[in-house]
Chains A and B, each alone.
Chain A
Amino acid sequence: MLKPTTCCAVFLALFLSSRPTLAQWNEELYAAASIPTDLLKNAHDVVRREVIDFEVKNLREGVLRHHKIVTLLTSDSDASKLFVPYDKDTRVEKMTAKLYDAQGKLIRKLERDEITDNAAVDGFSIYNDARYKYVELHHPLLPYTVEFEVELSLKGIYYAVFPDWEIQQYHNAVQFSQFNISLPAQLRFYHQMLNIELGPAQTTQTPDVRSYSWTVTNLPAIREEPYSPPPSEVLPTLLCSPHEFQLGNYIGSMASWKDYGAFMNSLYARRDVLPAALAEEVKQIAAQHGDTPAKIAALYQYMQRKVRYVSVQLGIGGWQPFDATYVSENSYGDCKALTNFMKAILSAVGIEAWPALIKAGELDYEVKEGFTYPSFNHVILYVPEADIWLECTSNTAPPNYLGSGSLDRNVLLVTPQGGRLARTPASLPEHNVGTGLTHIRVEPDGKAAIQYKGQFTGELHEDLRYMSTYASAEEKERWLRSSSALPACNLQGFVQQASPAKPEASMSYQAEALRYASRAGKRMFIPVNVVNPFRDLPPRSTERKQPIVLADAYTEMDTFIFSLPAAFAVESYMQEAFSLESSFGSYQLRMEKSDEVIRVYRYLQLRPARLPAEEYEAFRRFFVEVAKCDGQKIVCIQQP
C-alpha cells in the first residue's frame, strides 16, 4: 500500500528484508520448474521468496532490508524492474540484483553503472527533494528469475510512515513471503491485516528488542477485474504505523487519530498569523458581509484572487506548511500552506477553521476509525460553525464546493483538541445534473445546423468551470470534440460560464456539420444523439470473482429537436419509447413526432452501487443497451 502523506508524494513502495537463514535457502527457488502448479494460474510472476526486515532503531530512524526472488512468467510482469525512492534524509545503503535462467543458473549480477539516479518528478511540484534509483534486468527467454536486495536507512518522513507489507499484487502469486519487524523494547507499533487471515505474529523478545514475524506461503494469483473494489479491499496487505515517532524536532504518535491529529496540529501551530496590514484588510472585508457563510464566501474569494498553487516539498515541508506570512509575501503555496493561510484569514476575523487531511483522487484506501494509518495526499479546510468545506488550492471553485476528487470520503480534522475523523459531503446523482437542449436543423443534403445550450451542476460542471478560466480556444474545442460525438463541423461561439457562487455552469455552442446525416439514395439517416452518447462500455469480465463497484453518480436530461427538410418524412425509428431500469441506473428515450419537428427526450441516471459478482453480465448489458439506443438513427425518406 502506498502511504501518500500530506500533500506530497512520499511513496515507500518497497519492503525490507533480511538474509534468510541458510537452511531455508535453496537452489530450487531459482528454477521455474519448481513453482507449484496452482500458483501459475492467472500469474504474471511468482514471488519465490521474499523477506522484508524492518529494524526500528529509535524514534527517528530504522533500517529496511528487502530481499526478493521473483520468477517472471509473462511479458506483462514488471518484476524485473526495481524502483527505489529516497530523499535527503533516507539513504540507499545497498542495491543489488541478480539474474537467473529458467533452470535457476546464475546468468549475471547487476553492475553499478546500470543504476540510474534521478529526481522524482511528481508532475505537480515545482520542486521536491524526492529522488529514486532505478534498474531493470533483461532476459530474452521467459520464464526467468530475478533476485533483488535493497537496504535503506530510513529517516524523516520515509521513516515516520512505517513500511507496509504488500503481500500480493494483481496477477502475482506468492510462494513464500515473510515480514519481520523489530523494535527497541520501549517502542511499539500498530498493524492491520487486510484481506487475509494470518493470525498473530510470531514474537520473540530479548530485554532490549521485541520482534514480530508473519509468513505467508502459496498464495495463488488474483486477477484484476474491471469495476472492482479498491485494491485495499482485495489484495492481502499488512499496514503498519508507529506508536511514536520523531520528525525533526516534533514527536508524534499514531496511537489514535486524536493523537496523530494533535501531532499534525503541532506542525501547524503558530503558523497561522497574518501580517498586521493583511489582518486589517480581511477584517474590513468581513465587516461588509452579514452572516458567517457570507463572510466565509467573501474571504475565500479574496484568497482565491490573491494566491496561487505552487508545490514545493522539502523534508519536513512535506508535512508542515509554510507559514501565513510567507504565503502572503509570495502569493503562493501548496495545499498545506494555502489551507493554513485561509485558516489564518478566518482566524483574523474570529472564525475558527480546521485543516482536514484527505486522500484526494482515487480512493485506494480509505481511512477508518480504529486504526491510525495516515493515507493522505492533500489538505482542505473545514469551518465547523458553518459546516463549510473549502478547497484552498483552487482559484475558481465556488465556496463550500469540493471537487469530485474530494467528495464522499473520510478525512482527518486537525483541531486544537487533536484529530478526529469526519466525512466530506456525498456526491449524489441529484447533485450532478446536466440538462441540455439541442436544436438540429437538417438540410436535404445531410448538412445540419446545430444549436446547443446546457446547464450543469456538481461534478458535471467542473470541466466547464476550469475551461472558462484556463483553456485556450483550441483546448476547449478539443474537449468538446472528445466529450461529444459531433461530426466534423465548423464550430462557432463555444461559450462556457461558471457561477461564482454555486457549483453550476452553462455552455452553449453553434455548429454547422456538412455531413451530419448520411444520405443513401432517397433516404437520410439522422443520428439521434451526437451531444452526449454513452460510449464507455464496461469491458467483458468472465469468471468474475470481485463484487461490482459503480462509483458514477449523475443525471442527464436532454431534449433534441430535429427540423427536417420539407421534402422528407420519417420512415422509421427504433421505438417510440424505450426505457431501462435497474438498481444502479435508469434510462429513457422517447420520440415525439409532429408536423414540423421530431422531439427526442433522453434521460440517463447512474447511481453508485455495489453489486454481487454474478450480476456483471446484466450490469454490462444495461450499458450495451444504452449505447445502442443512443447510437440509433432516425431514418427519413424523400417524398416523391
Chain B
Amino acid sequence: MGCPPRLWAGSDEKWPTASAGVGLSTLMAAQMCVGLSPSGSGAAIPFLSLTRNILLLLLVASTGSLAAQDQDFRWGRIAAEDLAMTTYEADTTAGAIVLSDVADLRFNVINGDIFYDFIRHKRLKILKRSGFEEADIAIPYYGDEKLSSLKAQLILPNGERTSVEREDFFEETYNNGYVKVKKFTFPNLQEGAVLEYQYQIKSPYLFELREWYFQSDIPIRWSEYRLAIPIWYDYIVITQGPPYHIQEKEDGSMNANLPVTHLRYVMKDMPALKRESYITTMDDYLSRIRFQLHTVTYPGQLRESIMGTWAQAATKLTESLQFGQQYIRNANCKNIKALVPALIAGASTKAEQANRIYTFLNRTMKWNEEFGIFVDTDLDECFERKTGSGAELNLMLVAMLQEAGIKAYPLLTSTRDHGKMFDLYPMLDQFNHVMVLAELDDAKLEVFDAGNIFRPAGLPRMSALNGEGWALIPDSPQWVDLRAKEGYTQEVFKGRLDEEGNLIGSWRAKYDGYSAVLAREDLHSDSAEAYIRQQLETVSPDIIISNIAIQDQDTLTKPVILTADCTLNGVAQVNAEFMYLSPVINPPFTESPFKLEKRTYPVNIPYPSVSHHILQLQLPDGYQVAELPEKITLALPDRGMQLAFSAGAMGNMLTVTYKLEIKQLIYTPEQYEALREFFNICTQKLGEQIVLKRS
C-alpha cells in the first residue's frame, strides 16, 4: 500500500440544504494540508482505537438491541402496507414522508489511495400533491468526489414500476467546478407513489466524514447511518438531538486484514422539523451526527494526532500558508504593511492608531459576502482587488495592527447561522469567521470585525454575535467570551396637537451601539427623509418633513443624532367632540414578535437593547384630557426585560414616556411563556390611547 490521499481540514461555505441525511457542509473547503505519511501494509494491529462521543443536548446512549428490523430495506422490496398507505398516522398533514433513509460509509483502499464509499438508499412515500416537490432530488457533492451507481425508481400502489432513465439524470456545476449537483425527478408521479433512489459517492475527504441528518422538513420514519471505520482512524463523534433508537458499536473486519469498528445509529419516527424565528440556526437543534478525525495510527507506526490539541491547532494555523503566513510572511502583506506608518502618523494612543487602520480598511475594502477562516487570495492581492472575505479582511487588519506595534490576534468564531461552538476538541471546522482581538492602551482588549463602514470597534457584525470566540494568541490560544454591546435608541417628539388631529413639532432621535449601526446603514442606502418617514409612518401615512439635520453620521465613535421638523397628519382620530391619540408615535413593534403559543427551541436574541421614547405635546385649545393610560412597570424575572411606561398631563401639556430594556438574550422554551406575555402586554400598552374631550 502506498501513500494515502491528502487530508484536508477546515470548513467554509455551507451548503444550503436543510434536508435530512447528508449535508456537504462538513465535508471541507479551504485548503489546509495536514500531511499524513504512513506506510506499510494493513497487517493486524495489536491495539484498538477508541471512538469517543461528545454528547450534546440530551443524548443518552441507548446501547442497543440487535433486534432485526421488520422493514425490508432491499431495493424494490416495498412493504404492502407502505404501498397502500394514504395518510401518515403520526402526522396527517404530511404531504410526503421518508419511509427510510439508510446509508453505509465504508473505507476502501485502491492502489494505495484511502478513501471512503458512501452508499445511500432513501425511500419516500408521496401522500398528497403538496408533497410532490419531494420528488425533485438534488444531490450535492464536491468536484473531486465521484458519484456513481445512481438509480431511482417509482412504485405505484398497484405495483407498477417506473425507473428514471439515464438521460434524465442531470448534472450542474458551480463555483468553477468546485461543487457539483446531480439532479433528477421521478416520472409518473402520483399521490400514493413510493420513490426510492440509491447512489454511491467516493470521497477522499477523510478529515471529516459525511455528516448525517436524522431530521428534516418532512417526517422520517426510519433513519439509519452505518459506518465501518478502520481502527487506524479515531474519529470524534459529535451528535445532538434526542437519544438514538439504536446505537451500536462493534469490532469486526472489513477485509481479512483490515480491522474496523462498526458503528450504527438509528432514529425512528422523527417528526417534521418546525422552524422558529429568533434562533441562531436550526442546525443547532435538529438531530444530526458528525465525525472528525482525531488521530491516525497506521500499522507499525506511532499514533499521529491529526486534530491534536488547541495548542497544536494554533501552531498549524500559524504555519498555514492560508492563515498565519498571510499576516506573518512579508511576501503576502508587505504592501498593506507599508501603508501603516502614514496611517498612524500623529496618533498618540493605540486606540486611535487601531481605529485609523480599521476605518481605513473598512473604507477601502469591500466584503465579498463570503465567510470562512482561510485566505483564498493573498492579502496584498486582496488589497489590489479591493475586496475580500471576512477572514481576508480581518487578517489584513491583524497584519496592519501588528505593523503598528499593537498586539493583535485572529479571533476565530462561528456565525449564528453556522451554529454553536464547543471547546472540547480543536475542530477548526466549527469556525467560519475570523475577527480580530487587539490589546489597546492599558491592556484593554477590543474586538474588531472589518468589512463594513458603519460598525465601530467593538461591534462585530450581528451575524457573528454567537457568544464566544477562540483567540489565536501565540503560546496561549484561548476562548474568549463575547458579550454583545447594546443597541441604544432615544426618541423625543416635542410639539403640539391641532384640532384636526395632526401633530406638529420637532423630532429628535439619538442612536448608539447596534442601533446606530442600523440607522447609519439605512441613512446610507436611503435619504434621511425616507428614513424618518419610515420611522413615523406607522402612525401616519401622511407626513411632511423639513429642516433635517444629521449629526455625527460618519463619526462612528459617537452616537448619530437625527433631527427634523415634522407634521404628522391625522395621528389622532377626531370623532365629534372627542379626540383619540395613540401617543407612541414610533412603536418598536405593532404586533408581538412572539405570536406562537409554544416554543420548542430556545429564543436567542443577538444583542441587548434599550429604547427610550419621550413625547411632549401641547394640547389644542378647548380640549382636556379625559383619560390617560395607566403608568406601569413590567419586568421579567431578574429584570431580563423591562418596560416602564408613564403618561401625565399638566395644564395643557401632555408628557408620555416609555423605556424598553432587553438584557437577557437567551430564553429556554420553559421561559417562553413569560416572554410571550411580556411582549403581549408591551404591545397592548404601547397601543393604548389618550382620550381628549372638548370642554
Q: Is the CB of A310 within 8 A of B185?
A: yes
B184, B385, B387, B691: the one within 8 Å of A126 (CB): B184
Measured CA separation A138–B130 after assembly (Å): 44
Q: Which residues of A contact B168 (CB under 8 A)?
A: 330
Measured CA separation A490–B541 after assembly (Å): 30
Q: Is the CB of B170 within 8 A of A329?
A: no
CB distance from B39 to the nearest CB of A (A): 36
Q: Which residues of A contact B187 (CB under 8 A)?
A: 329-332
Q: Which secondary structure dominates chain A's binding surface? A: mixed
Q: Is the CB of A119 within 8 A of B689?
A: no
Q: From known contacts A119-B172, A514-B680, A520-B689, infer whether A632 and B573 are also in contact, taking CB-CB under 8 Å.
A: yes
Nearest residue, chain B, Cβ from A115: B176
Q: Which residues of B contact A481 (CB under 8 A)?
A: 595
Q: Is the CB of B189 within 8 A of A472?
A: no
Q: Mark B365-378, 1 if CB is under 8 A from A, else 0.
A: 11000000000010
Q: Is the CB of A117 within 8 A of B176?
A: yes
Nearest residue, chain B, Cβ from A314: B170
A573: CB under 8 A from chain B? Answer: yes
Q: Mark A612-631, 1 if CB is under 8 A from B, else 0.
A: 00000000000010011000
Q: From known contacts A119-B172, A138-B386, A518-B687, infer whether A574 and B95 are also in contact, taking CB-CB under 8 Å.
A: no
Q: Which residues of A contact B274 (CB under 8 A)?
A: 474
Nearest residue, chain B, Cβ from A570: B575
Nearest residue, chain B, Cβ from A113: B377
Q: From known contacts A140-B364, A332-B189, infer whether A635 and B578 are also in contact, taking CB-CB under 8 Å.
A: yes
A537: CB under 8 A from chain B? Answer: yes
Measured CA separation A117–B95 after assembly (Å): 36
A472, A523, A627: the one within 8 Å of B541 (CB): A627
Q: Is the CB of A119 within 8 A of B130?
A: no
Q: From known contacts A522-B627, A571-B578, A628-B541, infer whether A140 and B363 are also in contact, taking CB-CB under 8 Å.
A: yes
B174: CB under 8 A from chain A? Answer: yes
A453: CB under 8 A from chain B? Answer: no
In chain A, residues 303-345, which have Cβ atoms closer than 8 Å to a Cβ of chain B?
Answer: 308, 310, 312, 329-332
Q: From known contacts A469-B130, A472-B95, infer whether A520 and B592 are also in contact, taking CB-CB under 8 Å.
A: no
Q: Which residues of B contact A310 (CB under 8 A)?
A: 136, 185
Measured CA separation A103–B183 after assembly (Å): 50
Measured CA separation A474–B175 after assembly (Å): 35
Q: From known contacts A140-B366, A331-B189, A624-B541, infer whether A488 and B385 are also in contact, taking CB-CB under 8 Å.
A: no
Q: Which residues of A contact B578 (CB under 8 A)?
A: 571-572, 635
Q: Is the CB of A138 within 8 A of B387?
A: yes
Q: Which residues of B contact A523 (CB under 8 A)?
A: 627, 689, 691
A57: CB under 8 A from chain B? Answer: no
Q: Is the CB of B591 within 8 A of A487?
A: yes
Q: Which residues of A contact B176 (CB under 8 A)?
A: 116-117
A199: CB under 8 A from chain B? Answer: no
Q: Mark A124-139, 1 if CB is under 8 A from B, else 0.
A: 0011000000001011
A633: CB under 8 A from chain B? Answer: yes
B423: CB under 8 A from chain A? Answer: no
Measured CA separation A366–B208 after assembly (Å): 54
A140, A329, A633: the one within 8 Å of B386 (CB): A140
Q: From known contacts A140-B386, A520-B691, infer whether A126 and B183 are also in contact, taking CB-CB under 8 Å.
A: yes
A308, A488, A525: the one within 8 Å of B680 (CB): A488
Measured CA separation A559–B187 after assembly (Å): 48
B424: CB under 8 A from chain A? Answer: no
B570: CB under 8 A from chain A? Answer: yes
Please tell me the number of chain A residues within 8 Å of chain B, measured between CB atoms.
53
Measured CA separation A533–B364 after assembly (Å): 47
Q: Is the CB of A488 within 8 A of B592?
A: yes
B552: CB under 8 A from chain A? Answer: no
Measured CA separation A523–B573 after assembly (Å): 14
A114: CB under 8 A from chain B? Answer: yes
Q: Which residues of A contact B325 (CB under 8 A)?
A: none
B542: CB under 8 A from chain A? Answer: yes
Q: Is the CB of A520 within 8 A of B629?
A: yes
Q: From known contacts A572-B575, A572-B576, infer whether A126 and B185 are also in contact, taking CB-CB under 8 Å.
A: yes
Q: Is the CB of B170 within 8 A of A127?
A: yes
B176, B365, B592 — which one has the most chain A CB atoms within 10 A of its CB?
B176
B688: CB under 8 A from chain A? Answer: yes
Q: Is the CB of B597 within 8 A of A490?
A: yes
Q: Is the CB of B175 within 8 A of A118?
A: yes
Q: Is the CB of B184 within 8 A of A518?
A: no
Measured CA separation A635–B577 after assembly (Å): 12
CB distance from B656 to the nearest CB of A (A): 12
Nearest residue, chain B, Cβ from A540: B533
Q: Mark B189-212, 1 if CB is under 8 A from A, else 0.
A: 110000000000000000000000
Q: Which residues of A contact B631 (CB under 8 A)?
A: none
Q: Is the CB of A472 within 8 A of B690?
A: no
Contacts A481-B595, A520-B691, A523-B691 supplied; 7 other A-B pairs, CB < 8 Å: A140-B366, A488-B591, A488-B592, A521-B691, A523-B627, A628-B542, A628-B570
**Which 8 A-B pairs rank lowest in CB-CB distance, beginning with the nearest?**
A572-B575, A330-B187, A127-B170, A138-B386, A119-B172, A521-B627, A138-B387, A140-B364
Write the residues of chain B forming the contact surface with A, with a CB cutoff of 8 angstroms: 93, 95, 129-130, 132, 136, 162, 168, 170, 172-176, 181, 183-185, 187-190, 274, 363-366, 377, 384-387, 524-525, 541-542, 570, 573-578, 580, 591-592, 595, 597, 627-630, 680, 683-684, 687-691
User: 26 A-B Cβ contacts within 8 A?
Assistant: A119-B173, A119-B174, A126-B136, A138-B385, A308-B189, A330-B162, A330-B187, A330-B188, A332-B185, A332-B187, A487-B591, A488-B592, A488-B680, A515-B680, A518-B684, A518-B687, A518-B688, A519-B688, A520-B690, A525-B580, A571-B575, A573-B575, A574-B574, A574-B575, A628-B542, A635-B578
